[in-house]
């Protein structure tokens, strides 16, 4: 199972609290654009648009129900394997419209002047627009009267007054070598841009006046950056986003003499009921704001609380698009919340007019052969081995794994303190007692004995900070200490049996004699015995037998593919490190000391235990080969089990104790719990 939460996959138009089991099955696949989505844009008629960093453009013409791709850029990436287009193709960061007919697709074209596209027929056709120079557009403002202003990395302001047909540069606001992050004009003459500070024009961009920003007035002494990221003039106020918080000041008076504008700016922290704000955007006579706890509120012209619609976003907002009374909010999970007339509902995107298989990336198989799986935003059920998936419910939040409990409920978890159980009979999600706020990184099952583990992402922060930035979310878990929790009734009741102070396990191995071994993020090893009494109560006596010391003898891997002590006190750790590759470590004394091994000597991964006690592993193929084998532990070594003609995507033990194997050619194979019979499921 693997994480794919960055990818946009948004749901049918239902409020997330209601399951879809009673509705007609919608066979449209979830939308999966290539590249990051950062901005949404409305047309006056209610069409919703967005572009991606890979040059793709999508539109919904039915208010968010279904989405279709529009061919705007010939240099767009068609898929994630289109590497040339991803590197040299167009980026389309935003799609904005003057009116229902005329609009722009903006972004960056890797040095070409044709860094924008223009439509005059409502988006049916688009033509490349040659701007005065290559421009990486960071922000744009379009008006219904045909005016537009663009700002970006070049530090210049580009403007048009004929719906984008012709363009010219305004004077450069800042004399520093800085990019412009945000632009807003309240009239053709008056506008503000945000950069390393704030700059105001009263003459349409012929000249600019520097404005003191909140940091310059000492309002963010703990911040080491003066960059202002967003600016919003509204209702006599100037609102600025700097140092990860919002500030407000009365807008400088129009009668100010040269040099006196600084005296009219009186910045103050912009709070609502003592709460910081994540995002703000004017909506007519009111100001929409999202508080630090993600509640949507409306403020009046005095910046006082005017209305609380009672809607809270599931994750922080990335962008807010407003057109008249229509609101669209893109959140960090890349789902969309739509609002109109004070009412909000969270929606997701499906491909318009198409059928196909959704992006189900983690699933489990029940005794009746039914598969339960999750996509980035939905819970699914399949009665035909994954050929088709019936959407059951929208997930309250993205999850990492899924497992069928003995009770028939579905256990779901992510790596950041969320665990829930879904009841197919009621269509409801409920918390899991004993797993509240635990960062479940992994799950091990042996019949009715289940173990989950995780915690302490902070352990990695001081040592591999650069790598964490390179691979977002790689080191999961944020609890203050590591943990192991056990259920002895198939995922029903849970109890924490071990607290690992100042460490957190990224891998776990439970031997058949109940010797439990944990591997920390930084290579420490904890080991001991797991005990289960006659009443089903579990306990463990573990001690740290190896403390990571930063030397080459530490079994440090950033992602552990393998941890085993199948041969008693002889153990192996195998995993990889960014920019370096695979590492292998061996211990012969129960984990008390380790020596680095030859990575190719034991080229296995994904160790799994069948319900009968048989251990199976994936044997990695030679470089460049797709065919792969499964091997079986015979008590002394691994021997061949089964050969596949395609790459193994994943292999895991299901709820019956059998082994599921997913191949790159879309085949799904199953080995029964006794390890006797193989069957191809699809």
pTM, full prediction: 0.74
Provide the b/e sequence for 381-411 (b: ≥16 CB within 10 Å).
bbeebbeebebbbbbebbbbbbbbbeeebbb
**Three-state DSSP string of 317-335:** EEEEEEECCEEEEEECCCC
Phi, psi of 466 (to 5 degrees): -65, -40
23 burial class (0-12, 13-18, 19+ CB within 10 angstroms)? exposed
Do 438 and 482 form a contact (C-beta atoms < 8 A)?
A: no
Residue 467 pLDDT grade (very low, low, confident, very high; cuts 50, 70, 90): very low
Q: What pLDDT is stored for residue 254 in this prediction?
A: 47
Q: Who wins on pLDDT, 461 or 102?
A: 102
Domains and their CATH numbers in the chain? 362-599 (2.130.10), 603-682 (2.40.10)
Q: Who wins on pLDDT, 594 or 460?
A: 594
Show the DSSP H helices in 405-471 as ranges: 465-470
Structure tokens at 425: 């009979």
Q: What pLDDT is stored for residue 103 in this prediction?
A: 98
Q: Among the listed ranges 64-68, 366-370, 643-647, which one has the minimum average pLDDT value?
A: 64-68
* 3-class state of residue 502 by DSSP: coil
Q: Chain centroid to CA 350: how far? A: 18
Mean per-residue pLDDT of the chain: 87
Pair type for strands 103-108 and 116-119: antiparallel
Q: What pLDDT is stored for residue 603 in this prediction?
A: 80
Most confidently modeled range among 138-142, 398-402, 627-631: 138-142
- Among residues of the chain, what percentage have pLDDT more than 70? 90
Q: How far is CA 158 from CA 14, 41, 114, 232, in A?
A: 41, 20, 14, 19
**Three-state DSSP string of 355-420:** CCCCCCCEEEECCCCCEEEECCCEEEEECCCCCCCEEEEECCCCCCEEEECCCCCEEEECCCCCEE
Residue 17 pLDDT grade (very low, low, confident, very high; cuts 50, 70, 90): very low
Pair type for strands 581-587 and 277-283: unpaired
Cα(638)–Cα(5) distance, integer angstroms: 35
Query: What integer is the mean pLDDT of 466-488?
Result: 64
Structure tokens at 610: 């069948």
Which residues are within 8 A (CB) of 274 and not within 5 positions of it... i.e. 6 or more apart? Answer: none
Place of tokens 């001690």: 543
Cα(3)–Cα(496) distance, integer angstroms: 25
Q: Chain centroid to CA 377: how far? A: 11
Structure tokens at 385: 């081995």
Cα(217)–Cα(249) distance, integer angstroms: 12
* 3-class state of residue 457 by DSSP: helix
Tally of helices (H runs) and strands (E runs) in the chain:
3, 56
Q: What is the pLDDT of residues 275-330, one digit of tens each?
A: 999 999 999 999 999 999 999 999 999 999 999 999 999 889 999 999 998 999 99
Residue 262 pLDDT grade (very low, low, confident, very high; cuts 50, 70, 90): very low
Do 477 and 439 form a contact (C-beta atoms < 8 A)?
A: yes
Cα(247)–Cα(245) distance, integer angstroms: 7
Structure tokens at 151: 């700002």
Residue 429 C-beta-side C-alpha neighbours within 13 Å: 20
Beta bridge partners of 81: none
- Supply the DSSP symbol for 99: S
In sequence order, what DSSP letters do the residues of 520-561 get, joined into one string?
A: ETTS-EEEEEEEE-TTS-EEEEEEEEE---SSTTS---SEEE
Do 276 and 289 form a contact (C-beta atoms < 8 A)?
A: no
Beta bridge partners of 247: 240, 269
Q: How many CB atoms lie within 10 A of CB 162?
A: 11
Q: What is the pLDDT of residues 73-120, one digit of tens each?
A: 999 988 877 878 888 889 999 999 999 999 999 999 876 766 799 999
Structure tokens at 663: 């191949």
Q: Is the pLDDT of residue 10 over 50?
A: no
Do 330 and 49 form a contact (C-beta atoms < 8 A)?
A: no
- Supply the DSSP symbol for 601: T
Q: Is the pLDDT of residue 392 over 50?
A: yes
Place of tokens 């632009």: 183
Q: What is the pLDDT of residues 20-62, one digit of tens each?
A: 344 566 667 788 888 899 999 999 999 999 999 999 999 999 8
Do 374 and 364 form a contact (C-beta atoms < 8 A)?
A: no
Q: What pLDDT is stored for residue 19 in this prediction?
A: 39
Residue 484 C-beta-side C-alpha neighbours within 13 Å: 29
* 3-class state of residue 648 by DSSP: strand
């Amino acid at each position: 199972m693997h994480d794919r939460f960055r990818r946009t996959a948004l749901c049918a138009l239902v409020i997330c609290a209601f399951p879809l089991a009673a509705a007609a099955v919608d066979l449209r696949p979830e939308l999966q654009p290539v590249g990051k989505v950062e901005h949404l844009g409305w047309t006056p008629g209610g069409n919703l648009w967005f572009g991606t960093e890979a040059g793709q453009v999508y539109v919904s013409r039915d208010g968010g129900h279904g989405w279709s791709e529009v061919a705007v850029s010939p240099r767009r990436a068609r898929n994630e394997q289109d590497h040339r287009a991803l590197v040299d193709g167009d980026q389309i960061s935003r799609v904005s419209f003057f009116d229902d007919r005329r609009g722009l697709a903006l972004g960056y074209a890797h040095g070409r002047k044709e860094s924008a596209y223009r439509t005059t027929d409502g988006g049916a056709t688009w033509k490349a627009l040659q701007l005065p120079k290559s421009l990486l557009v960071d922000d744009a403002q379009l008006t219904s009267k045909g005016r537009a202003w663009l700002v970006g990395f070049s530090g210049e302001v580009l403007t048009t007054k004929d719906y984008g047909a012709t363009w010219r540069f305004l004077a450069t606001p800042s004399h520093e070598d800085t990019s412009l992050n945000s632009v807003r004009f309240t009239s053709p003459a008056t506008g503000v841009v945000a950069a390393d500070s704030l700059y105001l024009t009263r003459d349409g961009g012929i000249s600019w006046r520097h404005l003191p920003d909140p940091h310059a007035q000492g309002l963010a002494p703990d911040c080491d950056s003066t960059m202002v990221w967003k600016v919003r003039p509204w209702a006599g106020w100037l609102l600025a986003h700097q140092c990860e918080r919002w500030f407000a000041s009365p807008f400088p008076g129009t009668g100010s003499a040269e040099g006196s504008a600084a005296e009219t700016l009186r910045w103050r922290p912009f709070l609502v009921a003592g709460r910081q704000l994540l995002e703000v955007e004017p909506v007519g006579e009111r100001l929409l704001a999202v508080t630090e706890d993600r509640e949507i509120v409306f403020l009046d012209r005095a910046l006082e609380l005017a209305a609380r619609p009672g809607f809270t976003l599931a994750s922080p907002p990335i962008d807010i698009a407003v057109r008249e009374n229509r609101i669209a909010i893109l959140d960090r999970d890349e789902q969309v919340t739509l609002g109109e007339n004070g009412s909000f509902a969270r929606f997701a995107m499906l491909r318009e007019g198409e059928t196909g298989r959704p992006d189900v990336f983690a699933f489990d198989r029940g005794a009746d052969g039914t598969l339960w799986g999750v996509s980035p935003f939905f819970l699914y059920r399949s009665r035909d081995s994954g050929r088709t998936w019936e959407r059951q419910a929208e997930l309250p939040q993205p999850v990492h794994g899924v497992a069928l409990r003995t009770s028939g409920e579905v256990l779901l978890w992510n790596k950041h303190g969320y665990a829930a159980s879904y009841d197919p009979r009621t269509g409801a999600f409920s918390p899991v007692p004993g797993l509240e706020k635990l960062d479940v990184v992994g799950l091990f099952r042996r019949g009715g004995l289940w173990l989950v583990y995780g915690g302490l992402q902070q352990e990695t922060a001081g040592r591999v900070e650069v790598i964490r930035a390179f691979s977002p979310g790689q080191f999961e878990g944020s609890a203050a200490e590591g943990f192991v929790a056990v259920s002895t009734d198939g995922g029903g009741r849970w109890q924490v049996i071990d607290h690992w102070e100042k460490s957190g396990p990224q891998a776990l191995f439970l031997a058949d004699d109940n010797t439990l071994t944990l591997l920390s993020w930084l290579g420490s090893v904890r080991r001991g015995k797991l005990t289960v009494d006659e009443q089903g109560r579990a306990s463990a006596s573990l001690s740290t037998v190896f403390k990571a010391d930063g030397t080459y003898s530490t079994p440090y891997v950033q992602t552990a593919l393998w941890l085993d002590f199948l041969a008693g006190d002889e153990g192996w750790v195998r995993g990889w490190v960014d920019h370096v590759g695979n590492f292998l470590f061996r211990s012969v004394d129960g984990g008390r000391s380790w020596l680095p091994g030859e990575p190719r000597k034991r080229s296995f991964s994904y160790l799994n235990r069948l319900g009968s006690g048989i251990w199976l592993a994936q044997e990695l193929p030679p470089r460049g080969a797709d065919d792969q084998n499964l091997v079986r532990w015979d008590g002394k070594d691994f021997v061949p089990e089964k050969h596949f003609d395609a790459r193994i995507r994943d292999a895991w033990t299901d709820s019956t104790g059998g082994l599921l194997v997913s191949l790159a050619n879309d085949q799904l194979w199953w080995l029964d719990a006794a390890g006797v019979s193989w069957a191809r499921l699809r």
